[in-house]
Amino acid sequence: MIAMVAFYISSAVADDLNAGFVKLSEGKPDEAVKLWVPLAESGDKVAQASLGLLYQTGQGAPQDQLRAVELFRKSAKQGYPFAFTALANSYHEGMGVEKSLRKALYWFLLSAEFDPNAAFMVQAIAAELPAGTFDEIVAQAVACQASQYSKCRF
């Protein structure tokens, strides 16, 4: 019985998540926001990152860079690769956070396994940082990954 209830709940969450993507593809981001807010609040990492992007761009919701970064962080702590890239871009561009090449590099390192563009950004940013900084940040990113993203520094 408990397994059936859990399946129903996870199925309903997936349905709302997918419905949000459909609404987004139909040019109705406001309806995607309505579907994703409850999911994000309940801890769904995909909804958190997706909603964060809408807040960051001001699609379907008022533009709110701080809220976007907050949602990206929550999603990243659950190991969602898109959130790593979103945080990296936020730090690289100074969107919702103070611009920081060190922090951008950290998150691009975590996302490089999943995002080919992130590997390019790692090389570009590493070339701009002082000697020794790259190895230090790599060690921090490895520790973050080893903790299953629960002890990430930034």
Q: Is 46 in a helix, a strand, or coil? A: helix
Class of domain 1-77: mainly alpha
Q: Does residue 131 sit in helix, strand or coil? A: coil
Point out the least confidently predicted range of 48-57, 118-127, 142-151. 142-151
Q: Report helix, strand or coil for 48.
A: helix
Are the beta carbons of 108 and 87 closer than 8 angstroms?
no
Portion of the chain with pLDDT greater than 90, in percent: 86
pLDDT, tens digit (0-9, with 9 covering 90-100), for 3-44: 433 333 455 568 899 999 999 999 999 999 999 999 999 999
Convert the pLDDT of each residue in 34-87 to its tens digit: 999 999 999 999 999 999 999 999 999 999 999 999 999 999 999 999 999 999
Q: Give the per-residue SS3 of 76-97.
A: HCCCCHHHHHHHHHHHHHCCCC
What are the angstrom distances between the C-alpha of 98 and each of 58, 84, 85?
19, 17, 16
Enumerate the domain spans of the chain.
1-77, 79-148
